[in-house]
Amino acid sequence: MAEFLSEEWLNSFEEKLNTDDRYAEIAKNWEGDINLQIDPGNHLAEPVTVYFDLWHGKCREAYFVEDGNQKDAAFAMNAKYEDYVRILTGDLHPMQAMLTRKLNVQGNMALLMRNVPTVLDFVRCAQEVTDIPE
C-alpha cells in the first residue's frame, strides 16, 4: 500500500493495473484515457491531475500532469480530495458519486455506462494499493 497521490502510489497503481488478471479480463475491450482531477482538501493543498492511458486491460502510461503536460483525455473525472478518499475507502460507491455529482465526469457517458464493470474494477485496483493518510 502506498500513500494516495505519492509517486509510489502512482507506480503501484500502474503496476497493479498491468498485472491484475481480473482487471485485464474485465477491461479487455476498454480503449480510452482518463484525467483524474483532484481538488484540494485535507492533506492536499493544490489541485492534482493524474493521467492514465488505459488500453485493452493495460495501463500504457500513468503520470502526474505538470503545467503544459495536459492531454485531452477521452474522460475527465473531477472531485474533491475528500470524495476521492471516500471512494477509495469504500464509503462512497463510484456510481453513487457520479449520480450525486460528487464525481463530475466528462466524456462519452454512453460508452462509460456500457463499461461500468471496467470502471468499478479500476476503482478496486486503486483501493487495493492506496493508503489514505490520517
**Domain containing 117 — which CATH number?**
3.30.1050.10
Residues forming beta bridges with residue 33, ordered by sequence position? 53
Q: Pull the grid cell for residue 64.
A: 502526474
> How many domains does one find in the chain?
1
Q: Which pLDDT does position 126 carry in this prediction?
A: 97
Q: Which pLDDT does position 43 carry in this prediction?
A: 83
pLDDT in tens, the chain (134 residues): 999 999 999 999 999 999 999 999 999 999 999 999 999 988 899 999 999 999 999 999 999 998 767 788 999 999 999 999 999 999 999 999 999 999 999 999 999 999 999 999 999 999 999 999 87
Q: Which pLDDT does position 123 carry in this prediction?
A: 97
Q: Which pLDDT does position 103 carry in this prediction?
A: 97
57: domain range? 2-131
Q: Which pLDDT does position 133 carry in this prediction?
A: 81
Tell me if the pTM is above 0.85.
yes
Q: Which pLDDT does position 68 carry in this prediction?
A: 64
Beta-carbon contacts of 69 under 8 Å, excluding residues fewer than 6 positions away, are 63
Residue 73 vs residues 36, 41, 55, 129: alpha-carbon distances, Å: 10, 24, 13, 23
CA-closest candidate to residue 34, choices 118, 98, 106: 106
Residues forming beta bridges with residue 97, ordered by sequence position? none
